A = this chain, B = another copy of it.
Amino acid sequence: MAMQDFSRSLPMRLYRALAVVMPRFRRIFAKAGLTEQQWRVLRVLWEQPSVPQSALVELTLIPAPSLIGVLDRLTVAGLVERRRGTDDRRVVEVAATAAGRALEERLMPDVQATYAELRASLDESTWRALETGLDELIRAQRPREGAAAAQARARHSTGEDIA
């Protein structure tokens, strides 16, 4: 069962795809003094008046511990605001400030143009096959419902650490 070349494994292809695609976008973000993660947060906040922090984790794919720092810096820059939820005081609601929202008009044109170029670099059928393949992969591998709970339960039941 000859193992294929490591560089041709699916994960490495995914990493390489991002490595060739993202630098052009980051150059755009950098013009506004934003990192890629800061951009992602703003990009999501532009679509809604306010978003619970836990939802931001899912929508931006920024891990919770990292998001803390990203929001800290965005807050210091005056681009976002945090508020404690009124009914449930555990949740933190995040919203873009006026300055944060102003960046949308400044950045989206270039980003859209670059995205259009990206899309135009593949023919329509290949592009769609790529999107479909990614979606199916995500759906197939996405942790089953209740997996986390089941795992937590298991952790409490038996020994767990089999060195």
Interface string of A142-161 (1 = CB under 8 A from B): 11000000000000000000
Q: Is A121 on the interface with B (CB-CB < 8 A)?
A: yes
Q: Within the oligomer, what is the number of copies of this chain?
A: 2
Number of residues from A at the complex interface, CB < 8 A: 49
In the complex, A59→B20 CA distance in Å? 14
Q: Is A9 on the interface with B (CB-CB < 8 A)?
A: yes
In the complex, A22→B130 CA distance in Å? 19
List the B side residues contacting A132 at CB < 8 Å: 126, 129
Q: Is A72 on the interface with B (CB-CB < 8 A)?
A: no
**Contact of B61 with A112 in the complex, beta carbons under 8 Å:** no
Closest beta carbon of chain B to A114's beta carbon, Å = 11
By a beta-carbon cutoff of 8 Å, the part of chain A in contact with chain B is 1, 3, 6-22, 25, 40, 43-44, 47, 59, 61, 108, 112, 115, 118-119, 121-122, 126-127, 129-138, 140-143
**Contact of B59 with A134 in the complex, beta carbons under 8 Å:** no
**Contact of B136 with A133 in the complex, beta carbons under 8 Å:** no
**Contact of A16 with B131 in the complex, beta carbons under 8 Å:** no
In the complex, A44→B6 CA distance in Å? 7
**Contact of A140 with B115 in the complex, beta carbons under 8 Å:** no
Question: CB-nearest residue of chain B relative to A63?
Answer: B19
List the B side residues contacting A25 at CB < 8 Å: 11
